[in-house]
Amino acid sequence: MEPFPSDRIQLPRNMIENSMFEEEPDVVDLAKEPCLHPLEPDEVEYEPRSSRLLVRGLGEHEMDDDEEDYESSAKLLGMSFMNRSSGLRNNMSIYRQNPNGSCSVPSMRTMVVCTVVLVIAVSLIMAIYLLPKCTFTKEGCRKKNHTMELIYPLATNGKLFPWAKIRLPPDVVPLHYDLVLQPNLTTLKFAGSVKIVVNIIQVTWKIVLHSSGLNITKATITSAGGHQAKPVEFLEYPLHDQIAVMAPEALLVGQNYTVNIEYSSNLSDTYYGFYKISYKDENSKQRWFAATQFEPLAARSAFPCFDEPAFKATFLIKIKRDEKLSTLSNMPKKATTPVTNGIVQDEFFVSLKMSTYLVAFVVADLKNISKETNGSLVSVYAIPQHLNQVGYALNTAVKLLEFYQKYFLINYPLEKLDLVAIPDFQSGAMENWGLITFRETTLLFDSNTSSARDKKLITAVIAHELAHQWFGNLVTMEWWNDLWLNEGFATFMEYFAMEEIFPELHSDEDFLNLIFKAMMKDSLNSSRPVSSAVQSSEQIEEMFDALSYIKGASLLLMLQRYLTKDVFQAGIEVYLHNHNYGSAQSDDLWDSMNEITNGTLDVKKLMKTWILHKGFPLVTVVRKGKIISVQQEKFLYRVEPENWTSDASYLWHIPLTYITSSCNFTRCTNAYLLDQKSAVIELPEEVEWIKFNVDMNGYYIVHYAEDWKTLIGLLKKNHTALSPKDRANLINNIFNLASLGKESLEKAFELIDYLNKESSTAPLTQALFQLSLIYSLLEKKGEQQLAARVMHRIEHLLGDKIDQQRWTDDGTLSERELRSTLLAFACTHDMRNCRTTATEMFKKWMKSNGTMSLPSDVMKAIFTAGSKSSDGWQFLLKMYSSSVSEAEKSKMIEALASTEDVRKLIWLMQNSLEGEVIRAQELSHIIATVSQSLPGYLLAWDFVKENWEKLTRKFHLGSYTIQNIISSSTSQFATKAHLLEVKSFFESKSEESSQLHCVKEAIDTIQLNIQWMEKNLAKLQELL
């Protein structure tokens, strides 16, 4: 999945030890219940008291050794834990009741005997409870005590639910699904039935699978040889989205059974599951569209299924629809048959073996164009009025598909590949096998209104999703902890493929900027390892972040450059061939690489230091003559010393690269593996300068100590001695080191003094980014004069460059993109005469009633200037409502959100949340834009607070959209009052909200902002 430019679970406090001694109602004797599988207590889920039942006994035939030992202990004590309450009642019998109802006092002998027995019993119980990890048995203390107490939850009907873990039991696996669906785009409901063929791995009486929000009306089971479906009881446990089908008899190992379930539900009004979308057709009439988004956990809301990535199966899908509409699914259509008046059924060919999250279907009025390549038909679909914008996507998809087939040496395995533009879509795109769904702005290219940047975005997203057809679809991560295997690889391949096929797009510059931003996130204490243990839905949603995508991709880039492209490619081929149609873990990838390196390098040992640990290293370089001393430590901003987790002793295995003044071409790159805390590199001769981390191909920051002066001098004298990426890398590193306190801010400003000679996009963009961060912090802190001086410094460095920009679409794609960036910035900050020129062009466009053609690369700057006036804003909103170009509408939205009129900003956010004039898919982008401005940054945070429940219902807690909303609405804060407010707000919400990584990251960021201001405010007064 392409997000749009979006540790183990903590146990509740009511721990098992406390509940053991609480009074309980009569406890269920499970010997009377069907055969239930015991739980391993280290994997037990602890539920709130209201939703769980304590079980202190198991059916005889289900006991394992540990339970037998436990029962033996109970028998030795002469007591049964299966019925404690009845035992207590029996013990009361020493008090004899007189006929008149009064109790006679027991004899002294009875009292003494009872006291002794009680003391012995209590002592033995305490010994059993307190012996560390030991069960008292006939043979003595010989086994770890795993089953002191087992916890099962209650189903919705009050009965015991036979499973308590979030993960499904491994005793049943699905082989095949027959799915029939009938969506009704008038009532906005759907009915469905699913037949699931399952295979039994361990004898069981239950089949536990996922279901969420489905109204199940009937469930039956049929054995492999049987012809009669037997009705079965089913239990529901909504907290884990699980249902249990209780078989009438034991299900036998190795046998296949068919579970048949009938159900109905509403089409979702969120962006998850089988959801509904409304749009206006060419005649401005409202139409409905139904589409799916199942990753990560929403297939279960469209049909009951084993909704975990490792449970792969084949799928036969049939969809009943209005004959005026069309349907698409993963596979080509096999047949269409009439059902009733006006309703037909489409049947699709049986799919390949795949995970549930990749299943997809669309029901809508769509048009398409197609092209065949290598036996597969590639088609791009859109609503009819957008059909003239799909040509670029089709040609791009064909080129990329051909490239990937050659690179992986595995043909795309399906006969068709559909790319569909969805009118309302939360992510950038979704890689469903054979049916990739896209947001319209990431698929549709309009030659009149799409800019160079729009073309690059569309190309990148298509490249990402097509890479997934191999990485993710053919070979899938076993569980969500290794999501980076899907997303990191698809991101890496996206940029690698674009460099190979579309070098004119300079996509490597975009990747560089993304790596810089991922490192900002990864430098916080709230970061996480790329491969992290996850269980809950919020934790799984949060894995879709910059660490899985960008850090994962940059680690693969670093490995590729270290191994060489050929060795890396050979390792990928082995990995895909070894695990096709199956699941994999991180180690499987490293093992495949090791097959190629054949003992010359232990890739697993190297990469585990990066994948299983959060953060990244800071490498300090000291040069004395020919001797280069290098030393590594963790790069980490310390915001709260009491909460800071020290990793001082941690060692990365760092593939260092460097170039020197004696030979600074890429072919002269030297490599050195730093797998110790420090090392010494001896050069063959003395050099004038040395630059480490060539082209930023490594995931680390470099501190040059005394050599910063040398590099600053080099940039002033001959900046082209280093590549544009190396220059951007130096700018990024020195500003980060200044924030860390390792270098002075003065030296950082000194380094960028050369920029008036710079003409490359990467270093200019990075410098603008770093200075904009400082400007924003000062502006929001109320330091307006100092903020104006920062802007004056930017104008001094880049003013001539801004003046040189022409208001046209001329030049190379890289030049055009730089023009967009510089003019949009200049107009936003009223620099030079940018806003005057842009306003004049906007007025002419407005006078032509929007018919005049504007240069696409400067369109955003023109719209932004125009939106500053009330009339201009209203006209822009009117044009937004009638425009058929998604590229144009995207630029309009950003301009509308740039107004300084507070009432308009509030209306814009509220309207987008409701999805009336502006779609909810735009809300995250609107909030981010509003947050940038001085009038808007407090409004955006207030809006998030007031609408938190609506936001998390629409976009799901932990989702990429929620991560972006939290980050953008709080990242401008730099006061202790705001820090306390943000902390208090999330603490007042659910535990799931307060424990989100993105919330901790937001708090870390505010603390860093406060710290930065305290350290640097006085210095800035002197510097500027």
Place of tokens 């109790």: 103
Reduce the DSSP state of residue 789 to 3 states and report it.
helix
Contacts of 746-751 with C-beta under 8 Å, sequence gap 24+, read 746/1019, 746/1023, 747/708, 747/712, 749/793, 749/1023, 750/712, 751/708, 751/711, 751/712, 751/715
Q: What is the rounded CA–CA span in Å between residue 469 and residue 949? A: 36
The torsion region of residue 695 among left (phi > 0), alpha (psi -120 to 50) and beta comes to: left
**Please, are residues 53 and 159 in contact by the beta-carbon 8 Å criterion?**
no
pLDDT average, residue stretch 29-51: 37
> Of the ranges 94-108, 655-669, 949-963, which one carries the lowest mean pLDDT score?
94-108
Query: pLDDT tens digits, residue range 849-861?
Result: 999 999 999 999 9
pLDDT class for 647, splitting at 50, 70, 90? low
* For the chain, percent of residues with pLDDT exceeding 90: 79
Q: What is the rounded CA–CA span in Å between residue 414 and residue 331? A: 8
Total residue length of the chain: 1024
Q: What is the rounded CA–CA span in Å between residue 688 and residue 572? A: 40
Alpha helix positions (H), 348-473 = 391-408, 452-468
CB atoms under 10 Å from CB of 792, counted, come to 13
pLDDT class for 663, splitting at 50, 70, 90? confident
pTM summary value: 0.86
Rounded-to-10 torsion of CA 982, 986, 987, 988: 110
**Please, are residues 489 and 497 in contact by the beta-carbon 8 Å criterion?**
no
User: Which pLDDT score, from 0 to 100, does residue 142 have?
Assistant: 40
User: Which pLDDT score, from 0 to 100, does residue 150 have?
Assistant: 62
Q: Give the Cα-Cα-Cα angle 389, 394, 399 (nearest 5 degrees).
A: 145
Query: pLDDT tens digits, residue range 807-849?
Result: 999 999 989 999 999 999 999 999 989 999 999 999 999 999 9
Q: Are strands 135-137 and 140-143 parallel, antiparallel or unpaired?
A: antiparallel
Rg (CA), the chain: 32
HEC string for 54-118: EECCCCHHHCCHHHHHHHHHHHHCCCCHHHHHHHHHHHHHHCCECCCCCECCCCHHHHHHHHHHH
Query: pLDDT tens digits, residue range 372-397?
Result: 999 999 999 999 999 999 999 999 99
CB atoms under 10 Å from CB of 398, counted, come to 17
pLDDT average, residue stretch 289-308: 97
Among 290, 286, 297, smallest CA distance to 275 is for 290
Mean pLDDT, the chain, whole residue set: 87
Q: What is the rounded CA–CA span in Å between residue 67 and residue 129? A: 15
Contacts of 41 (CB under 8 A, 6+ apart): 16, 146, 147, 148, 149, 150
**Please, are residues 381 and 367 in contact by the beta-carbon 8 Å criterion?**
yes
Q: Residue 75: exposed, middle, or buried by beta-carbon count in 10 A (0-12, 13-18, 19+)?
A: exposed
Among 59, 63, 492, 482, smallest CA distance to 308 is for 482
User: Which pLDDT score, from 0 to 100, does residue 916 have?
Assistant: 82
**Please, are residues 420 and 438 in contact by the beta-carbon 8 Å criterion?**
yes
User: Which pLDDT score, from 0 to 100, does residue 15 have?
Assistant: 31
Q: Which two tokens stand for residue 209?
A: 């699978």
Q: Which two tokens stand for residue 113?
A: 């005997």
Q: What is the rounded CA–CA span in Å between residue 63 and residue 566? A: 54
- Give catalytic residues, as residue numbers: 465
Query: pLDDT tens digits, residue range 806-817?
Result: 999 999 998 999
Q: Which two tokens stand for residue 500?
A: 């190979």
CB atoms under 10 Å from CB of 59, counted, come to 16
User: Which pLDDT score, from 0 to 100, does residue 990 have?
Assistant: 85
